[in-house]
């Protein structure tokens, strides 16, 4: 099997309303370049529609890392089921091509044309949940990851949480 890059930009968003406290660390670890690029792309997209910026969370990065490894090792790189999660999430398929954090965010923002800003809904017969997640007003933290999966010719996915 040929190795294929599975971009799992797991954007972990912590809801302000869930009251989860961020542990403070005396010396923050440096944010990986891809994570910084992902955060910057998200914050630029959010600023364009008047939504405040996200922050990096080491706590969520650790939780996301565990989920990403589980999805790769135990679930064959399938999408994560986040229906019972306290985190919001988006997912994206990538087919063995190099996908930058900017490309991922731009893909998610494409759903903007189906979003009704007046009542925070999608226009009939279209989906815009990915866009709605990315612009949510209640998010405060973010993290991202990339993994390598060997999947042969099968399409690969990218997850955002």
- The verdict on pTM exceeding 0.85 is no
Distance CA(44)–CA(18), nearest Å, equals 25
The dihedral over CA atoms of 21, 23, 29, 33, expressed in degrees to the nearest 10, equals -10
Tens-level pLDDT at each residue, the chain (161 residues): 333 334 344 443 333 223 334 444 456 667 778 788 888 998 898 899 888 888 888 787 777 788 878 888 888 778 788 778 777 667 777 777 778 888 888 988 899 999 988 888 899 999 988 887 766 654 556 655 555 565 543 344 444 44
Distance CA(87)–CA(160), nearest Å, equals 10
Domains recognised in the chain with CATH numbers: 3-16+52-160 (3.40.33)
């Amino acid at each position: 099997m040929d190795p294929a890059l599975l971009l799992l930009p797991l954007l972990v968003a912590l809801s302000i309303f869930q009251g989860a406290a961020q542990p403070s660390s005396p010396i923050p670890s440096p944010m990986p370049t891809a994570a910084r690029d992902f955060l910057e792309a998200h914050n630029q997209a959010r600023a364009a529609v008047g939504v405040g910026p996200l922050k990096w969370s080491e706590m969520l990065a650790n939780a996301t890392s565990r989920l990403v490894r589980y999805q790769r090792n135990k679930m064959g790189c399938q999408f994560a089921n986040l229906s019972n999660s306290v985190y919001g999430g988006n997912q994206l398929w990538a087919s063995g091509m190099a996908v930058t954090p900017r490309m991922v965010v731009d893909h998610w923002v494409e759903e903007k044309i189906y979003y009704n800003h007046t009542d925070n809904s999608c226009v009939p017969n279209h989906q815009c949940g990915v866009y709605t997640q990315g612009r949510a007003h209640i998010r405060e933290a973010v993290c991202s990851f990339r993994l390598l999966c060997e999947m042969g010719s099968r399409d690969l996915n990218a997850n955002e949480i």
